[in-house]
């Protein structure tokens, strides 16, 4: 059962409007503190990067709130501060690793129903920006901010103070870091940043009392909450509402892996969330969930702020101007137009889409190639591919050569900047290097194919001349 975390991925109790009037004492803060002073204390607890995430307190919080773990399952931390789900003993396939009660889950549909018309204008604004699908992350974002304002009075405070203080996602990058991204990654990063900007506009339109003016004006808090939602929420294809997204404390501690060895299932009777093991595992086995976007590393970087170097195939980044349905049918798809990261193998779909584009100059041949592909006419399709194989190879080679030059340029940009002043450079450099290494292998493949085809053409020409 597939799950996906979004760009990609709080409380179920409502918040009284009176509690967040800016010029009144906040009853959720102690000893009559002013809201500003109270919020500074909350900031120190959950956002100060100099304060370590508290692993033991979080584990105690999950136990107190009914999270059940299989015998041998635990939450551990690595020397670099990353948290991950681990095993201390072998566990068999199909066993429930973790159960999170419904009451602890933060579901966008529930929050939407609770907020109602208070966020109506804001959601209409997002829809006007063609961000209908992101409205459910917006509901989660608002609830995270509400729970942030509650501080220690929030049911989810134990979870919130366990969350990362800093992020490497696109919305957290500074302008110089953005300039170190190659064009495809840069465009994805800008898209995520545009979503963030739309949220910042939309929050100005929510009803008075939903959030304090102080919170709505605090760009650092708004950014932190945005990152929490988009790096940790998930959706499922079989949700009744296809746009629904959930934040599931403790379940969100699983790291990404493709293929995953765990999956998510919701109990039909209790609506509890179960994380289930897909195959036998022992203490040496990393436990992973899939975050989706499996063949587009730049999406992982833009949304989640990490690079998955374990991917065996990645999108070749060849883009078609004004693609049609026929392009998609031919193979224009990020899951089909792939370079193998291990040996540089070039997927057939890349050759098909490239040839289809070349044949735009001869519409009758383009249609003939399309029909042969759709009808699975291997003979006709093979003939056309062979006839234009050299031209196809040269176009692919040009794409790879120009891409490698770009990767070299952005790698150098990373080297020229100070990593202390730009803390996301290491991750960006790793992303760029991963692409450079993969494209270099693909370059070897296409160079060999081009050379071979040129020799065949030359021999053919010599044969014709001799006759």
What are the structural domains of the chain?
3-289 (3.90.1410.10), 312-466 (no CATH)
Find the mean pLDDT for residues 46-74. 90
Average pLDDT (387-415) is: 98
How far is Cα 434 from Cα 298, in angstroms, rounded to an integer? 11
At residue 137, the pLDDT reads 97
Confidence label for 12 from pLDDT (cuts 50, 70 and 90): very low
Provide the β-strand partners of residue 107.
246
Percentage with pLDDT > 70 across the chain? 90
Q: Is 84 helix (H, G, I), strand (E, B) or coil?
A: strand
What pLDDT, on a 0 to 100 scale, did the predictor assign at position 82?
85
The DSSP secondary structure of 346-363, one letter per residue, reads: B-HHHHHHHHHHHGGGSH
What lies within 8 Å, CB to CB, of 203 at 6+ separation is 122, 142, 211, 216, 222
Choose the most confident range, by mean pLDDT, from 48-62, 279-293, 430-444: 430-444
153, 28 in Cβ contact below 8 A?
yes
Dihedral of the alpha carbons of 163, 164, 166, 172, in degrees to the nearest 10 = -70
For CA atoms 437, 336, 343, 352, give the dihedral sign.
Answer: negative
Check residues 345 and 291 and name the one with the higher pLDDT: 345
247 vs 49, which has greater pLDDT?
247
pLDDT at residue number 38 = 56
d(CA 228, CA 163): 8
60 or 50: whose pLDDT is higher?
60
pLDDT at 24 (0 to 100): 24
Provide the pLDDT for residue 41. Answer: 63
Is the predicted pLDDT of residue 393 greater than 70, yes or no?
yes
pTM beyond cutoff 0.75: yes
| Mean pLDDT score, 354-366 | 97
pLDDT per position as a tens digit, 88-139: 999 999 999 999 999 999 999 999 999 999 999 999 999 999 999 899 999 9
* CA dihedral (110, 111, 112, 113) positive or negative: positive
Q: Is the pLDDT of residue 29 over 50?
A: no
Q: Do residues 341 and 311 lie in contact, with contact meaning Cβ atoms separated by under 8 Å?
A: yes
* Per-residue pLDDT at 343: 98
Give the mean pLDDT of 215-220. 95
Average pLDDT for 303-316: 95
Q: What average pLDDT does this structure show over 29-44? A: 52
What is the average pLDDT across 415-429? 97
pLDDT at 461 over 80: yes
pLDDT (average), residues 264-292: 93
What is the residue-averaged pLDDT of the chain? 89
Q: What is the mean pLDDT of residues 216-232?
A: 96
The angle formed by the CA atoms of residues 457, 463 and 464, to the nearest 5 degrees, is: 90
In contact, 299 and 8? CB cutoff 8 Å: yes
**Is 90 exceeded by the pLDDT of residue 34?**
no
pLDDT mean over 329-341:
97
Confidence band for 238, pLDDT divided at 50, 70 and 90: confident
- Rounded Cα distance between 9 and 304, Å, is 9
Query: What is the rounded distance in angstroms from the CA atom of residue 350 to the CA atom of residue 316?
Result: 8
């Amino acid at each position: 059962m597939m799950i996906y975390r979004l760009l990609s991925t709080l409380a179920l109790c409502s918040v009284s409007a009176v509690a967040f009037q800016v010029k009144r004492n906040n009853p959720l803060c102690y000893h009559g503190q002013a809201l500003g002073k109270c919020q500074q204390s909350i900031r120190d607890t959950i956002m100060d990067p100099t304060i370590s995430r508290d692993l033991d307190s979080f584990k105690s919080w999950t136990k107190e709130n009914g999270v059940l773990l299989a015998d041998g399952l635990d939450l551990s931390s690595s020397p670099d501060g990353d948290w991950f789900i681990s095993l201390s003993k072998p566990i068999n396939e199909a066993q429930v690793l973790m159960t999170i009660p419904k009451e602890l889950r933060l579901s966008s549909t529930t929050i939407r129903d609770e907020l109602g018309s208070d966020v109506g204008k804001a959601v209409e604004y997002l829809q006007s920006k063609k961000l209908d699908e992101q409205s459910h992350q917006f509901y989660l974002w608002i609830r995270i901010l509400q729970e942030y304002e509650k501080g220690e009075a929030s049911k989810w405070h134990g979870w919130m103070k366990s969350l990362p203080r800093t992020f490497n996602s696109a919305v957290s990058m500074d302008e110089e870091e953005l300039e170190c991204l190659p064009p495809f990654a840069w465009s994805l990063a800008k898209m995520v940043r545009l979503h963030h900007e739309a949220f910042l506009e939309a929050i100005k339109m929510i009803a008075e009392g939903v959030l304090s003016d102080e919170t709505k004006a605090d760009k650092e808090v708004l950014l932190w909450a945005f990152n929490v939602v988009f790096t940790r929420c998930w959706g499922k294809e079989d949700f009744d509402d296809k746009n629904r997204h959930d934040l599931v404390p403790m379940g969100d501690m699983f790291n990404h892996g493709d293929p995953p060895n765990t999956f998510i299932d919701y109990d039909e009777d209790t609506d509890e969330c179960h994380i289930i093991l897909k195959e036998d595992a022992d203490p040496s086995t990393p436990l992973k969930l899939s975050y989706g976007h499996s063949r587009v590393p730049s999406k992982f970087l833009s949304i989640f702020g990490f690079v998955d170097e374990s991917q065996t195939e990645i999108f070749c980044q060849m883009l078609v101007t004004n693609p049609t349905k026929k392009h998609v049918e031919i193979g224009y798809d990020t899951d089909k137009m792939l370079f193998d990261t291990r040996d540089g193998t070039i997927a057939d779909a890349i050759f098909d889409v490239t040839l289809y584009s070349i044949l735009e100059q001869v519409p009758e041949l383009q249609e003939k190639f399309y029909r042969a592909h759709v009808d699975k006419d291997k003979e006709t399709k093979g003939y056309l591919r062979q006839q234009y194989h050299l031209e196809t190879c040269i176009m692919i080679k040009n794409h790879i050569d120009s891409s490698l030059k770009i990767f070299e340029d952005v790698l150098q940009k990373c080297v020229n900047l100070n990593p202390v002043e730009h803390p996301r450079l290491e991750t960006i450099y790793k992303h760029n290097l991963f692409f450079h290494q993969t494209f270099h292998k693909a370059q070897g493949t296409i160079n060999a194919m081009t050379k071979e085809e040129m020799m065949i053409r030359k021999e053919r020409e010599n044969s014709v001349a001799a006759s």
